[in-house]
Amino acid sequence: MAQRTWFITGINSGFGRHMTEQLLERGDRVAGTVRNINSVDDLKAEYGDLLWTAQLDVTDIPAIYKVIDQAFSGLGKIDVVVSNAGYGLFGAAEELTIEQITHQLNTNLSGSIHLIRASLPHLRALGGGRIIQLSTVGGQAAFPGGSLYHATKWGIEGFTEAVMKEVAPFNIGVTIVEPGGARTNFRHHGSKIGPKLDAYEISPASGARRILEDSKAVSLGDPAKMVKIMIDSVDQHPAPKRIVLGSDSYQAIHQALSGRLQDLEAQKEQAFSTDYPEDNPSVTYKL
């Protein structure tokens, strides 16, 4: 297997760490970003020049473009860009602070958008490549207590799905990954909770808080298995549009999509009734 070079944000923990370890172990090169440059010293010591690192907070938009430029320039070629950095913000919408909302949007949505935009000129110049956008089951199914997290993930999925059509002529494949719960540190270290409002004790939104505060809760997903599937997807042509990982993700997305389709079908006659009569010109949009 030919050596590939990967650019991955947030390699110090979670899926980013698992992916980096698997790639380095098999001999690929990784350009990884972290907020704390010393957080992957162990990997640098073990793998040396195979690991290129840069400090990056994805809320810093100018820094995203600078680091991407440095990585492509310094490494000569990057085959796969993985937009992984992000975290979960939970609590009812009314419970969240303005600062929390802004930071969540700037990290998960704006940061991911600009990472992809910064990468595209380089990938086009190289004649193609792959982009993998980490999303979640929460990018297709919505749960009370996750409104802002869902806003970022539904938003980045819409952006990414449009981009995958825009860049197809340039031989750039784009994949959205939708994992369910996994045994990473996401629950306790990759998530934040809004200030508690007692009024929401009777709301189902309080369930999200209880799950995060439950130290004994265990997720179903094996992150090592999930990451291997993400890595292997780069060998698929064309690139898969979406990868669903975990039985919980499959079941929740299946239920959500089935319900949405049922609701849509029930409105078919009403939707068509708002068109102009057939003898008038109309415009057909193809998605």
Q: Assess whether 153 carries a catalytic annotation.
A: yes
Q: Give the alpha-carbon dihedral of 112, 115, 116, 119, to 10 degrees.
A: -170
* List 110, 119, 135, 206, catalytic entry: 135
Q: Assess whether 247 carries a catalytic annotation.
A: no
Q: Which residues contact 239 (CB under 8 A, 6 or more apart)?
A: 130, 164, 173, 174, 175, 233
Residue of 220, 105, 222, 91 lying closest to 153 (CA atoms): 105
* List 83, 110, 147, 149, catalytic entry: 149
Do the Cβ atoms of 65 and 44 come closer than 8 Å? no
Query: SS3 breakdown of the chain: % helix, strand, coil, rounded to 5?
Result: 55, 15, 30
DSSP string, 169-219: GGTEEEEEEEE--BSSSHHHHSEEEPPP-GGGGGSTTHHHHHHHH-TT---
Question: Identity (one letter) of the amino acid at 160?
Answer: T
* List 47, 119, 147, 153, catalytic entry: 153
Task: Compute how many other C-beta atoms are within 10 angstroms of the C-beta atom of residue 102.
Answer: 14
DSSP class of 240:
P
Q: Assess whether 149 carries a catalytic annotation.
A: yes
User: How many whole angstroms separate alpha carbon 136 and alpha carbon 88?
Assistant: 10
**Buried-state track 18-48, b at ≥16 Cβ within 10 A, e below 16:** bbbbbbbeeebbbbbbbeeeeebeebbeebe
Task: Provide the annotated active-site residues.
Answer: 135, 149, 153
